[in-house]
Amino acid sequence: MYAFTRLIFMKKNLKYSLSFLILVVIVTLSFSWSSVEKDKEKVVMQLMYDALSSVHYQPRVFNDKLSSEVFDVYMKSLDSQKRFMHQNDIDKLGSYRLKLDDELKSGSTEFFDKSIEIALTRFDDAKVRYRRILSGPFDFSSKEFFETDSDKRDYPKDEIQMEAFWRNYLKFRVLNRLYDRAESSDSSTEMNFIINSEGFEEEESKARKKELEIHDEWFKNMSETERLDLFGLFINSFTAVFDPHTQYFAPRQKEAFEIELSGQLEGIGASLRQEGEFTEVVSIVTGSACWRQGELEVGDKLLKVAQGDNDPEDIIGMSTTKVVSKVRGEKGTEVRLTVRKKDGSQKIISIIRDIVEIEATFARSAIVGEDKTTGYIRLPKFYVDFYKDSNRDCADDVKKEIVDLKKAGMESLIFDLRGNGGGSLTAAIKIAGLFINQGPMVQVKTSGQKVRSYNDKKEGTTWDGPLVILVNEGTASASEIVAAALQDYGRAIVVGTARTYGKGTVQNILDLDRAAGPFNAALRPLGALKLTIQKYYRVSGGTTQLEGVKSDIVLPHPYENLPFGEREMEFPLAVDNVDPVYYELLPEANFNEVIIKSKKRISSNPEFDEIKSYALWLEKQQENTKFTLNYDSYFERERALDSEVKDFSETLKSKSELDVNWVYSIVPPNADSSKVIEYEKWFKALSRDIYLAEGFRVVNDIERD
């Protein structure tokens, strides 16, 4: 079967995929599966073994060490919050710890079957437990605490410890619900939320009733998950120990969990995943309704959904598919999302649903500064032939923007790649070539083959003046290639976070139906495998893998002290180097002088000092994972936190405004009113962008020919 798998991967029409799925649910299911389903699982396991052991960029030996790692990943995936499994359950399953590699090779599901049997029993126990606990009032006068970080908790040893855990867990949730209701109540009902006051008993009862509804819905949704979906969770415990981006998609998993709301005609434009009981935002579709609105962010957890002026509905514990059905809606209608931000605060975000406006995903430009000689180009992603009817290519679009800016009198350029997660390798090479006159742009290595250099062969440049590249922790993949090449050649100064994301690998998608061949047609669908097959390297021989691109000028950032990027993931491919290729460094500019001047400005700028304070505050909040279950103490803590959050609400907005305008300082004659409004909102946001402001000062310090 390996030969056919290899053949499939040699096809040139395979697509790149950057999506990363995390499944953290356990389910209840029927154990009356057919022989066809068992045969399907066996074929999938054999295909996975072939691909992982032979086609993956860095194949691993299937031995006891790998088996032990798979076991740990699977146990964590099966019950990530340690709410169901007992320690003795883990110990019992531990007899398989060193056998999982052999089971994958043989196609045996013995361990998988036993683990699900145990999980099913514990799942049923939990259903009885939460209903019993929520049937009576909680005592909020105790001095108990609840640890929200499961990594800091052990598995309960027995039923007594499990009962104690669930009681504190549910008390914490009810307490949180009471606080939310108290903060949103009007003056006439505020007294009802003072503990032991008249009306408090009723409010506490309402909060418990709501929690009961949420848990009933959550357990019902989990019970509808099919065996093949959970089988995908088991298989992904194998892929996870190879690298973070290799992943198996069971047919329904791919459809139900990797959800692109804007993949439909109408929606808000956010990709969601289920993270325990929460639905979390994993990416924002550029140009979508929520992207234009600007407040929803990656990492936000959805708590409630409201349709227009209707009362919000609590969605904690709902499946992602249910949440999506509530967020979706007709173009022009309003959805209000209550989210929990990374700093722990809650925010209500109003979004008007719309068809994703593809135009906003393309390169766009502006003139920055009063003298109108500094150009600015924002490239949200790398795209090629985005739509066949428009035949758009990001390299062509960026070139056009540069030409227009030059006509408008541009003397220096800021190229913004912040949040650009990558895309087309070909486009990245072409874009880097707009600023460099021919030469190698990136090196690519396939396992077992020689390193190959990818060159820009087009003579001449489109822009050879002062250039600054803006990056952040979300700058990844293809955008890292561009930034690295321009930095290596000495062509641009890179300004932004200490380093970029650090993804230096390439994935291809393998259709398992094709890989299994015609003799297994009756078993379809089998799903798909996203497999890492190559690594990127800089022309200097270094790598962006884990290292990212290190900024020449580091700007303080709120998340600079928080784990982020490829290096924070489990089992990433290691950092290594290849030989540099020959490339001609450009004539030395006054970059060192410019960098020194910028660092002095940053160190004396009170706005950046405030961002550093915010970063330290966020880091401290990440450590505060234990919550008091005493009513008065909890309310005191949360109100203090809300007050601190408000103090930092304007931190990232510069107090002085930068002049930002249309390229020709006039509204394009054919622009419709909606586009004019959108651009003017964009200009307004850019005018107070503290990072753009420093990029503007840096690029204008670079010597001009």
pLDDT tens, position by position, 421-470 = 888 888 999 999 999 999 999 999 998 899 999 999 889 999 999 999 99
pLDDT of residue 199 exceeding 80, the answer is yes
Which domains are assigned to the chain?
61-241 (no CATH), 266-352 (2.30.42.10), 360-503+533-614+660-699 (3.90.226.10)
| Helix, strand, coil share of the chain (percent; to 5) | 45, 15, 40
- Within 10 A of 333 (CB to CB), how many other CB atoms are there? 14
Return the exposure string of 273-297: e unless at least 16 CB atoms fall within 10 Å of the residue's CB, then b. bbbbbbbbbbbbbbbbbbbbbeebe
- pLDDT at residue 255 in the model: 45
Question: What SS3 state is found at 155?
Answer: coil
526-553: average pLDDT? 95
More confident position, 72 or 187? 72
Distance separating alpha carbons of residues 483 and 494, to the nearest angstrom = 7
The percent of residues in the chain predicted with pLDDT above 70, rounded, is 90
- pLDDT at residue 531 in the model: 94
More confident position, 598 or 316? 598
Q: Are 67 and 456 in contact (CB under 8 A)?
A: no
171-190: average pLDDT? 84
CA diameter of the chain: 81
- pLDDT at residue 649 in the model: 85
- pLDDT at residue 244 in the model: 93
**633 contact partners, CB below 8 Å, separation of at least 6:** none
SS (H, E, C) 180-217: HHHHHCCCCCHHHHCCCCCCHHHHHHHHHHHHHHHHHH
- pLDDT at residue 22 in the model: 28
Q: Where are the beta strands (DSSP E) in 47-194?
A: 145-147
pLDDT of residue 518 exceeding 80, the answer is yes
**158 contact partners, CB below 8 Å, separation of at least 6:** 86, 88
- pLDDT at residue 227 in the model: 82
543-553: average pLDDT? 97
pLDDT band at residue 674 using 50, 70 and 90 as cut-offs: low
Distance separating alpha carbons of residues 645 and 479, to the nearest angstrom = 32
- pLDDT at residue 103 in the model: 97
pLDDT of residue 16 exceeding 80, the answer is no
pLDDT band at residue 205 using 50, 70 and 90 as cut-offs: very high
Distance separating alpha carbons of residues 414 and 701, to the nearest angstrom = 12
How far is residue 673 CA from its own chain's centroid?
Answer: 33
* pLDDT, tens digit, 9 for 90 and up, residues 211-268: 999 899 888 877 777 787 789 889 999 999 999 999 998 875 544 433 333 233 357 8
- Within 10 A of 625 (CB to CB), how many other CB atoms are there? 14
- pLDDT at residue 24 in the model: 31
461-484: average pLDDT? 96
**Range with the poorest average pLDDT among 583-592, 651-660, 663-672:** 663-672
Q: Are 272 and 337 in contact (CB under 8 A)?
A: no
Tokens of 274: 């289920």
pLDDT of residue 356 exceeding 60, the answer is no
- pLDDT at residue 360 in the model: 60
- pLDDT at residue 26 in the model: 33
**Range with the poorest average pLDDT among 430-434, 479-483, 513-517, 596-600:** 513-517
pLDDT of residue 509 exceeding 90, the answer is no
Output the CA–CA distances (angstroms, integers) from residue 499 to 15, 130, 456, 550, in the order listed: 27, 45, 25, 4
pLDDT of residue 664 exceeding 80, the answer is yes
- Specify the DSSP class assigned to residue 520: G
* pLDDT, tens digit, 9 for 90 and up, residues 43-65: 999 999 999 999 999 999 999 99
- pLDDT at residue 20 in the model: 28
> Taken in order 516, 517, 519, 524, is the CA torsion positive or negative?
positive
The answer to whether the peptide bond before residue 244 is cis (omega within 30 degrees of 0) is no
Distance separating alpha carbons of residues 378 and 291, to the nearest angstrom = 14
- Within 10 A of 409 (CB to CB), how many other CB atoms are there? 15
Distance separating alpha carbons of residues 480 and 499, to the nearest angstrom = 10
